[in-house]
Amino acid sequence: MADAVVIPGGRFGAGAPLLMYAGDVAELRGATVHRYSWSQKFPKPDQPGIESWVGGEIAPLLDSISGRPLLIGKSLGTNAAALAAERTLPAVWLTPLLTLPWVVDALGGATAPFLLVGGTADKVWDGGIARRLSPHVLEVDGADHGMYVPGPLTESIAVLSHVVVAVEGFLDAIGWPS
């Protein structure tokens, strides 16, 4: 049996649409999905200590799961990239914090495949860095940190469907779950 761990961002929980649907993709493939909620208020998200804090929150859950779960994290949750690298875990990183050097370093040290999803209007996204780090990248023109694009709300809802397709394609490409 496969497992997936959904790691929230800082503003919304694991039930936010991007995380909910990405987790649903794993669940439809037979995975048990563990949707994590932060146990306490997190420290400043742009300080180096945040990586240790996120690791301290997520490591006990990972320790309780046998096998190699898929990690699905958004924004703040991408500070778990070091755990993914250390444990050789595949991952889906939604709106990763590519302006934080420790996140980029952890992603650069990863040997398991990962998908990066971000938008060109997101201040913490860097498409060049993303494409250097992984062959699996979905970059949405004009999307902000919430993956909203200008125009009618239906355009942003369409972006969500593109993310789902990208997650499905990524999991197919890496043969997950195997």
Tally of CB atoms within 10 A around 20:
16
CA atoms of 151 and 28, how far apart (whole Å)? 31
Q: How would you classify the pairing of strands 70-74 and 91-94?
A: parallel
pLDDT at 48: 77
pLDDT at 124: 97
pLDDT at 16: 87
pLDDT at 114: 98
Amino acid in position 168: E
What domains does the chain contain, in order, with CATH numbers? 3-174 (3.40.50.1820)
Residues of the chain with pLDDT under 50: none
pLDDT at 11: 80
CA atoms of 126 and 133, how far apart (whole Å)? 11
Q: Determine contact, residues 75/129, Cβ cutoff 8 Å.
A: no
pTM equals 0.95
pLDDT at 86: 97
